[in-house]
């Protein structure tokens, strides 16, 4: 009788050991699900987001011979978004950049050192742009998220060209940018990363937006 009892006890113990991994796996899955739900709840509690940042925007894209740049700022941007769903935000941004430089244009397109100058002048300009966009976070966790954004932007340019040594205006322009293309431009960032919770930093290595086209980064706050 004792032998049968011990055999049954060992059988029950063996079955318990066999069921233990499944039980632990189910418990771990439940804990992960609970953690994800907590993260989702936290994300939806902070629907508003404000960002300030800078980015490289190489404008004007053309170059002149013997250019002396007084200043050529990066793009400064201010952005607001509203979280509609866990992975989706909609919002807009406003950005501006400024430049001032002296240039010389060569006669007949000859850019050698001894080429005669056709004109020497100073140019100064401001480029401002506004955009609306949607941002999709395709990897969203409490401390980090990866995202992409797509939208449209509208840019406006103030440009003035003066003769050096005088205040004579050679040419000026106030209007939509770019001048020879459609006024509404795409606003696209293929990849960005955000690190932090309520206070965070972000980095977007490349894109085409009013915030810049290269190395866009900054800080933000969610509330």
What's the pTM value of the predicted model, to 2 decimals?
Answer: 0.74
Phi, psi of 86 (to 5 degrees): -55, -40
Q: Which of 79, 30, 28 is nearest to 51 (CA)?
A: 79
Assess whether pLDDT exceeds 60 at residue 61.
Answer: no
Q: What is the pLDDT of residues 26-38, one digit of tens each?
A: 677 776 777 767 7
Q: Rounded to a whole number, what is the distance in angstroms from the first to the last CA of the chain?
A: 70
Is 15 a member of any domain?
no
Is 145 a member of any domain?
yes
Is 160 a member of any domain?
yes
Q: What's the domain range around 28?
A: 20-222
Assess whether pLDDT exceeds 90 at residue 135.
Answer: yes
What is the arithmetic mean of pLDDT over 39-62?
Answer: 79
Q: What is the pLDDT of residue 45?
A: 80
Is 207 a member of any domain?
yes
Task: Please count the structural domains in the chain.
Answer: 1
Is 175 a member of any domain?
yes
Q: What is the pLDDT of residue 63?
A: 47
User: What is the CATH classification number for the domain harbouring 107?
Assistant: 2.40.160.20
């Amino acid at each position: 009788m004792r032998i049968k009892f011990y055999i049954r006890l060992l059988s029950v113990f063996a079955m318990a050991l066999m069921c233990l991994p499944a039980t632990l796996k189910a418990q771990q899955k439940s804990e992960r699900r609970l953690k994800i739900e907590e993260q989702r709840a936290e994300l939806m509690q902070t629907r508003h987001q404000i960002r300030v940042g800078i980015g490289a925007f190489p404008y004007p894209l053309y170059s002149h011979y013997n250019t002396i740049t007084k200043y050529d700022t990066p793009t400064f941007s201010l952005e607001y978004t509203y979280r509609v769903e866990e992975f989706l935000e909609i919002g807009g941004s406003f950005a501006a950049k400024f430049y001032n430089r002296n240039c010389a244009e060569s006669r007949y397109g000859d850019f050698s050192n001894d080429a005669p100058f056709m004109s020497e002048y100073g140019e100064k300009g401001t480029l401002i742009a506004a955009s609306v966009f949607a941002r999709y976070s395709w990897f969203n966790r409490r401390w980090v998220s990866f995202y992409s954004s797509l939208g449209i932007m509208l840019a406006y340019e103030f440009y003035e060209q003066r003769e050096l040594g005088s205040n004579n205006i050679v040419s000026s322009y106030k209007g939509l940018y770019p001048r020879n293309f459609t006024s509404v431009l795409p606003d696209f960032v293929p990849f960005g990363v955000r690190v932090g919770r309520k206070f965070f930093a972000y980095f977007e290595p490349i894109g085409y937006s009013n915030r810049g086209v290269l190395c866009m980064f900054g800080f933000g706050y969610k509330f």
